[in-house]
Amino acid sequence: MESTTPLSPRQIQSFHEDGYLLGLPPIYTSGEMDRMNSELPQLLALLEPGETAKDIREWHETSLYLHEICFNPKILDLVEGLLGPNFYLWASSFFIKEPRTLETVGWHQDAYYWPMEPQNTVTVWLAFDDVDAVNGAMKLVPGTHKMGLIKHKRSTETDSVLTLELEGGSFKEDEAIQFRLNAGEISIHDDRAVHGSPANPSDRRRAGLTIRYSGTHVKNDMTVNPNFKTYLCRGIDTHKLNPVGAVPTQRFARPAFKAVSVEEAGTDR
């Protein structure tokens, strides 16, 4: 698989100023995405009764289908421009909004949920479908990654899949940028950037895979997330702060454990 063009100095500067990147070259062709989408039902078939696609967390540890995506050199080239030469993969999860669903993702900062220090993680969001404002694509408030962590509040009176989310008034919601991606394209955002997504009232599915990468100097609190594993993507890990996972051997398999969700890991700071 060929590498892509590295990020330009201007793109890197834009990421550090705004907290996100769009307009990146496609990672997969339409034909490649058709093949990946044709295989997706085999992954979804491994869900147990009562589970949904959002329970597919860290399945890159056991499914080559996902592991290969996370290690796509086109993605890693772009991430290296932001994290530097030494970084690891540690998380992945599916977000699928079926047509005509009321579920939203409330405004939040990823880093608020994670027991990791220091904050040095980027999230890649790979579109499995064309995503836009009509079918509930993500919105992000530029520059909010510079505000530090903002207090989140827990609430069960919400349509959001997250019950620990930001309160209105703690940021300027009207400044949010609406993301739009074609299938096979990615966005990248900083772990502290405020973002969320609306419901999907359309007749189109909105599916995406999130992939999390961190610099090798970032340490996880194993007392909060005891199943945490890292997969070195580029460079060397001289810090050796975290457990290392084994490369999967099966095309489709689920972990023996249930990964800690963002809400379980999240604390009322």
Q: CATH no. for residue 236?
A: 2.60.120.620
Q: Is-contact 109 224, C-beta < 8 A?
A: no
3-state helix, strand, coil in the chain (%, to 5): 25, 25, 50
For residue 3, being part of any structural domain is answered with no
Question: Digits of tens for pLDDT over the chain (269 positions)?
Answer: 555 678 999 999 999 999 999 999 999 999 999 999 999 999 999 999 999 999 999 999 999 999 999 999 999 999 999 999 999 999 999 999 999 998 888 889 999 889 999 999 999 999 999 999 999 999 999 999 998 887 767 666 555 555 566 666 677 888 999 999 999 999 999 999 999 999 999 999 999 999 999 999 999 999 999 999 999 999 999 999 999 999 999 999 999 877 765 544 444 43
pLDDT of residue 65: 98
CA angle 186, 264, 127 (to 5 degrees): 15
pTM: 0.91
Q: Which helix (H) or strand (E) holds 121?
A: strand 121-127
Report if residue 147 sits inside a domain.
yes
Torsion region of 19: left, alpha or beta (phi above 0 gives left; psi -120 to 50 gives alpha):
left
Amino acid at 59: W
Residue 169 near residue 151, CB atoms below 8 Å: no
pLDDT of residue 156: 63
Residue 4, pLDDT score = 66
Residue 84 tokens read as 């530097």
Intra-chain end-to-end CA distance of the chain, in Å? 43
- The answer to whether 90 and 214 have CB atoms below 8 angstroms apart is yes
d(CA 96, CA 47): 14
Q: Enumerate residues 6+ apart whose C-beta is below 8 A from 8.
A: none
Q: How many domains does the chain have?
A: 1
213 found inside a domain: yes
CB atoms within 10 A of CB 230: 22
- Inside any domain, residue 87: yes
Tokens representing residue 120 in the block:
């040095």
Checking phi first, is residue 148 left (phi over 0); if not, alpha (psi -120 to 50) or beta? left
Q: Which of 152, 154, 156, 185 is nearest to 166 (CA)?
A: 152
- Residue 239: inside a domain, yes or no? yes
Q: How many CA atoms lie within 13 A of 86 on its CB side?
A: 8
62 within a domain of the structure (yes/no): yes
Q: Are the beta carbons of 100 and 205 closer than 8 angstroms?
A: no
Q: Is residue 53 part of a domain?
A: yes
Q: How far apart are CA 28 and CA 25, in angstroms?
A: 9
User: For the CA atoms of the chain, what is the radius of gyration?
Assistant: 17
**Parent domain of 53:** 9-265
In a domain, 43, yes or no: yes
Q: Walk across the sheet containing 20-21 and list its strands.
A: 20-21, 186-190, 121-127, 206-215, 87-97, 231-234
